Structure 1
Amino acid sequence: MTRLGYQIPNFTYPGIAADQLFDTVVAQAREADASGFDTVLVMDHFYQLPILGTPDEPMIEAYTLLSALAQHTSKVRLSALVTGNTYRNPTLLAKTVTALDIVSGGRGQLGIGAGWYELEHDSLGYEFGTFTDRFEKLEEALQIILGMLDGKRPSLDGRRYKVSDALNVPAPLSKIPVMIGGGGEKKTLRMVAQYADESNLICAVEDIGRKLDALAAHCEALGRDRSEITVSLQTSACVAPTHDEAVADFEAYLQRNPAAEVRRAGTVVGDPDEVAARFADLLATGVDGVTVNAPANGHVPGRVGLLGQTLAPLIG
């Protein structure tokens, strides 16, 4: 289960040409693998997100990248954070995640959500629909995908999807954990309670307690043991050997990417002691772990390793 995940959310690195891009991503994954992270995650998007850059910045398709990273890592689980359900038929997604599990030697993980980036859908021809449409699709998709991953032959005559005796051969090498991303208290957390092994919350720190209470209430209503579900919090960090180096890394990032200014307040910036103290406070809110990205300096050699060494001792 994801208790300390390293997310790679961007592929725009200063001084890194296209033919060096994959090597730079591999280096981050290897440092994460060696420094205490239990999961490496990438975003499932085709355009860069507004808070990280512009739509025309590089974005590598998630599952192709994860399968390639499987050949360069040995311990970490591999997942999207999170798959946009709207981008793939659920039977294809089940086959794709199974393939990831097989090529990684049993390290595949499914992170999934309803989808939200309207520009991406409109530009690339994916049906966006309403909020209700997307959540109805997600719930039907989960019924199909979970059945296929569990070795069943699910059939569904749903409003959104229709499948008949959906085979998934070969089967995954291991039980694939399912993470649902988001913090919606009525729909998302109810689906976590009903279908998932993990919840990845995206919310303000002051809202965590209310989200955990909502999840517990859904578990009680469904007869699910809340302790079966791991809850992580999505976070951002910029760590360096010294405070001044961390600040310099972060300010340089904002200078070359002004759109990321909105991330300033939500990013933990500092030396290892400062970062550890801030994350200890986050973990004290009741979450089981964190997923953390480092778009400001994750590409700098040694920074991901330092982040893992800083945070791993906090995870019991």
Structure 2
Amino acid sequence: MTRLGYQIPNFTYPGVPEGDIFANVVEQAQAAEAAGFDRVFVMDHFYQLPGIGAPDEPMFECYTMLSALAQHTRKVRLSALVTGNTYRNPALLAKTITALDHVSGGRATLGIGAGWFELEHQSLGFGFGTFTDRFEKLEEALQIIIPLLRGERVTLDGKHYQVTEACNVPAPVSSIPIMIGGSGEKKTLRMVAQYGDESNLVGTPAHEMPRKLDALAAHCERLGRNRSEITVTAMQMVCVAPTMEEAEADLAELAAVKGWSAEIVEMAKGILVFGDPDTVGERLQACMDAGIDGLTLNLPANGHKTERIALLGELALPITAN
């Protein structure tokens, strides 16, 4: 289960032409593995997300990328953070995750969520539907995918998906963990309690985490699930460098490439866990002190500088070890 994960959310790198992006991503994954991260994630999106960049910035299809990274790493688990359920038929997704498990030697994790990026759906022709539709779809998808990953035959006549005696051969090499992403207390955390091995609380401030954890515990109690069986991690966006001045310079380099104004740069500093190792370490410790089990971190401004990944691992490993 994840104690310390590294996500790669950005593919726009100062001084790196588009043809060299993948080589840099490989270097990041290898640096994360060397630094002691136990999982490497990429986003399951086709357009870059608001707050990181423009929709037409570089973005790779995640499962092709993860399968390729499997050939360049040896021990880190590999996952989407998280798969948008609306983008894939659940039976196909079960086959995709199984293939990733085989090509990685048993290192696949299924990270999955309901889907939220409306522009992406509208632009590319994926059905978006209502909030209720997306969560109904996610639950039906889990009722298909999880048994398929366990080697069972599945029949489901659902509102959104129908399968008849569906099977998944060959079976996965490993017992694939199910990570459900999102922080919704009524729907998402109930599904975590019912179906998940892991929960990732995306972008939740430290002062909100105890309430989320209480909500998850209440769902577990109601469903007869032991809360200790579920690993809860939190996603934190970081910009760390050996000195505050170097962190400022890293962010300024990215801002120049993306065309960000001074106001956007200041806004980014407020969103990021930003600064030197002492400053970043204190904030990550505060996040862990809220009661979570681990951290998933990214470096959207300077992850292409792999020495920053090493630095992040050096300061975060002791924080998540206990």
**TM-score normalised by length of structure 2:** 0.96
| Mapping of residues 252-291 of structure 1, within 5 Å | 252-257=253-258, 258=260, 262-291=267-296
| Residue in structure 1 matched with residue 240 of structure 2 by the alignment | 239
- Range with bigger deviation, 195-204 or 264-273: 264-273
Answer yes or no: is the 8 Å Cα contact 1:53–1:260 preserved in 2: no
Answer yes or no: is the 8 Å Cα contact 1:85–1:114 preserved in 2: yes
Answer yes or no: is the 8 Å Cα contact 2:277–2:315 preserved in 1: yes
- Once the two structures are superposed, residues 207-230 of structure 1 have per-residue CA deviations (whole angstroms, 9 ceiling, x without a partner) of 111100100000000000000000
Figure out how many residues of one structure are paired with residues of the other and give that number. 316
| Residue in structure 2 matched with residue 302 of structure 1 by the alignment | 307
- Range with bigger deviation, 271-280 or 298-307: 271-280
Answer yes or no: is the 8 Å Cα contact 1:110–1:178 preserved in 2: yes
The DSSP-based 3-state class of the residue aligned with 2:78 is strand
For 1:234 and 1:301, locate their aligned partners in 2 and report how far apart those are by CA, in whole Å.
20
How large is the RMSD of aligned CA atoms in angstroms? 1.2
The DSSP-based 3-state class of the residue aligned with 2:154 is coil
Answer yes or no: is the 8 Å Cα contact 1:52–1:260 preserved in 2: no
Answer yes or no: is the 8 Å Cα contact 2:206–2:286 preserved in 1: no
The DSSP-based 3-state class of the residue aligned with 1:6 is strand
The DSSP-based 3-state class of the residue aligned with 1:165 is strand
For 1:21 and 1:269, locate their aligned partners in 2 and report how far apart those are by CA, in whole Å.
24
- Once the two structures are superposed, residues 129-163 of structure 1 have per-residue CA deviations (whole angstroms, 9 ceiling, x without a partner) of 00000000000000000010011011101101000
| Mapping of residues 210-249 of structure 1, within 5 Å | 210-249=211-250
The DSSP-based 3-state class of the residue aligned with 2:20 is helix
Answer yes or no: is the 8 Å Cα contact 1:208–1:285 preserved in 2: yes
Q: CA deviation at 1:242?
A: 2.0
| Residue in structure 2 matched with residue 186 of structure 1 by the alignment | 186
Moved over 3 A (4+): 254-257, 259-263
The question of 1:110 aligning with 2:110 is answered: yes
| Residue in structure 1 matched with residue 15 of structure 2 by the alignment | 15
The DSSP-based 3-state class of the residue aligned with 1:32 is helix
- Once the two structures are superposed, residues 254-289 of structure 1 have per-residue CA deviations (whole angstroms, 9 ceiling, x without a partner) of 344326654321212222232222211110010111
Q: CA deviation at 1:301?
A: 3.2
| Residue in structure 2 matched with residue 140 of structure 1 by the alignment | 140
Q: CA deviation at 1:251?
A: 3.2
Code of the residue aligned with 1:205 in structure 2: it is A
| Residue in structure 2 matched with residue 293 of structure 1 by the alignment | 298
Code of the residue aligned with 2:147 in structure 1: it is G
Answer yes or no: is the 8 Å Cα contact 1:51–1:262 preserved in 2: no
For 1:135 and 1:262, locate their aligned partners in 2 and report how far apart those are by CA, in whole Å.
31
Answer yes or no: is the 8 Å Cα contact 1:254–1:261 preserved in 2: no
**Which one of the candidate residues 300, 311, 316 is aligned to 2:316?**
311
Q: Unaligned 5+ residue runs, structure 2?
A: none
| Residue in structure 2 matched with residue 161 of structure 1 by the alignment | 161
Answer yes or no: is the 8 Å Cα contact 2:14–2:254 preserved in 1: no
For 2:267 and 2:135, locate their aligned partners in 1 and report how far apart those are by CA, in whole Å.
28
The DSSP-based 3-state class of the residue aligned with 1:164 is strand
CA distance change for structure 1 residues 117 and 261 in 2, over 3 Å: closer, same or farther?
farther
- Once the two structures are superposed, residues 46-78 of structure 1 have per-residue CA deviations (whole angstroms, 9 ceiling, x without a partner) of 000111111100000000000000011111100
For 1:42 and 1:217, locate their aligned partners in 2 and report how far apart those are by CA, in whole Å.
31
| Residue in structure 2 matched with residue 195 of structure 1 by the alignment | 195
Q: Unaligned 5+ residue runs, structure 1?
A: none
Code of the residue aligned with 2:169 in structure 1: it is V
For 1:309 and 1:70, locate their aligned partners in 2 and report how far apart those are by CA, in whole Å.
23
CA distance change for structure 1 residues 83 and 20 in 2, over 3 Å: closer, same or farther?
same
For 2:115 and 2:267, locate their aligned partners in 1 and report how far apart those are by CA, in whole Å.
22
| Residue in structure 1 matched with residue 94 of structure 2 by the alignment | 94
Answer yes or no: is the 8 Å Cα contact 2:46–2:61 preserved in 1: yes
Q: CA deviation at 1:197?
A: 0.3
| Residue in structure 2 matched with residue 85 of structure 1 by the alignment | 85
Code of the residue aligned with 1:117 in structure 2: it is F
Code of the residue aligned with 1:297 in structure 2: it is N
Answer yes or no: is the 8 Å Cα contact 1:209–1:285 preserved in 2: yes
- Once the two structures are superposed, residues 16-73 of structure 1 have per-residue CA deviations (whole angstroms, 9 ceiling, x without a partner) of 1122110000000000001010100000000001111111000000000000000111
